[in-house]
Amino acid sequence: IDPTTYVRTWKLWLDRVVPSFAMEIVSQDWEKDYQGVLPRYDELGVRELIVFDPWYDEHHDGVRWQVFRRVGKRGLVRVEASKKDRVGSKVLGCWLRSVGEGRNTRVRIATGANGSELFPTAEEMADAERAAKEYEREAKERERAAKEQECAAKEQECAAKEQERVAKEQECAAKEAALARISILEAELESLRHPAERRRRR
């Protein structure tokens, strides 16, 4: 990624642009993060703040998610506190989901009416692309095998027709040979029946 195409550090005194969304991940000093982050983001003018606590079950009254939204002159107001695995962000127009356990916990972007569809990571997209290419390769291989089977079937059909033609020719030849033999036998039989008449004719 070209480092000039994204913001590494947001400096309000230089950029003069207030982020509409902010996310805070609770550290080991959880009481400070629970109580001290809100005034700072409220003063900045952030429209929506989401606080995520991956260790919420390790301290008293902990919650996994806190959602704060700007409500008129009241500033940032907590509109949701949840121990569920996901919350919705109005500013981002998506869901944030907690995936994994312990040190493997990750926050993932999700879409869909209930946040059921995780937005794929770069690695997952690469895996999906590889799987699609593999499926395409296998489909082409299946198509090639099907064409080969079709060609083999046509060749077998042609061979069967050729065998049938040869068999018919052999049958016809056998019939002709049989008829010729019958004619010879009839002539010989006829000569045996009337020997005297043949002598008189001579």
114-to-23, 48, 63, 86, 117 alpha-carbon distances in Å = 20, 20, 20, 9, 8
Beta-carbon contacts of 180 under 8 Å, excluding residues fewer than 6 positions away, are none
pLDDT at 10: 66
Please give the single-letter amino acid code of residue 166: V
Structure tokens at 125: 């997209």
Q: How many Cβ atoms are within 10 Å of 140's Cβ, its own excluded?
A: 10
Q: How far apart are CA 118 and CA 120, in angstroms?
A: 6
pLDDT at 200: 61
Structure tokens at 139: 């489909």
Q: Which of 30-34, 93-97, 175-179 has the lowest mean pLDDT?
A: 30-34
Q: How far apart are CA 47 and CA 31, in angstroms?
A: 23
Span 142-160, pLDDT tens digits: 999 999 999 988 999 998 8
